[in-house]
Amino acid sequence: MSGASFHNAPPLLPRDKASLAAPPAHPRHQKTGTRGPIHRIRWSVLPALGRYASPVILVLLWQAACSTGLISTRLFASPLQILATGWGLAQDGTLQANLGVSLLRAASGLALALATGISLALIAALSRIGENVIDAPIQILRTLPVLALAPLFILWFGIGELPKVLLVALGATFPVYLNLHKGIRAIDPKLLEMAHTIGLSRWQRIRNVILPGALPDLLVGTRLAVSIAWLMLVVAEQINASSGIGHMMMDAQDFLRTDIIFVGLAIYGLLGLISDQGVRILERRALVWRQPSAQGRGQNHD
**DSSP designation for 294:** G
Site string for other proteins, 211-240 (x = CB under 8 A): -xx-x-------------------------
Closer Cβ to other proteins, 33 or 189, answer by number: 189
Q: How far is the CB of 225 from other proteins (least distance, A)?
A: 22
Q: What long-range pairs does 249-257 form, CB within 8 A, spacing at least 24?
A: 256/74, 257/85
Q: Are 116 and 101 in contact (CB under 8 A)?
A: no
- Please give the C-alpha separations between residue 146 and each of 62, 113, 150, 182, 231, in angstroms, as whole numbers: 36, 14, 8, 21, 11
d(CA 240, CA 158): 10
Q: How far is the CB of 297 from other proteins (least distance, A)?
A: 4
Q: Does 155 bind other proteins (CB under 8 A)?
A: no
Q: Does 83 bind other proteins (CB under 8 A)?
A: no
Q: Does 2 bind other proteins (CB under 8 A)?
A: yes
Identify residues 12-41 at the interface with other proteins (CB under 8 A).
12-18, 21
Helices (H), the chain: 2-8, 17-21, 25-40, 46-67, 79-91, 94-126, 128-130, 136-141, 150-157, 161-185, 189-197, 202-205, 211-239, 245-254, 258-286
Q: Does 292 bind other proteins (CB under 8 A)?
A: yes
Closer Cβ to other proteins, 100 or 188, answer by number: 188
Q: How far is the CB of 176 from other proteins (least distance, A)?
A: 20
Binding site for other proteins (CB under 8 A): 2-3, 5-6, 9-10, 12-18, 21, 190-191, 193-194, 196-200, 208-209, 212-213, 215, 288-290, 292, 295, 297-300
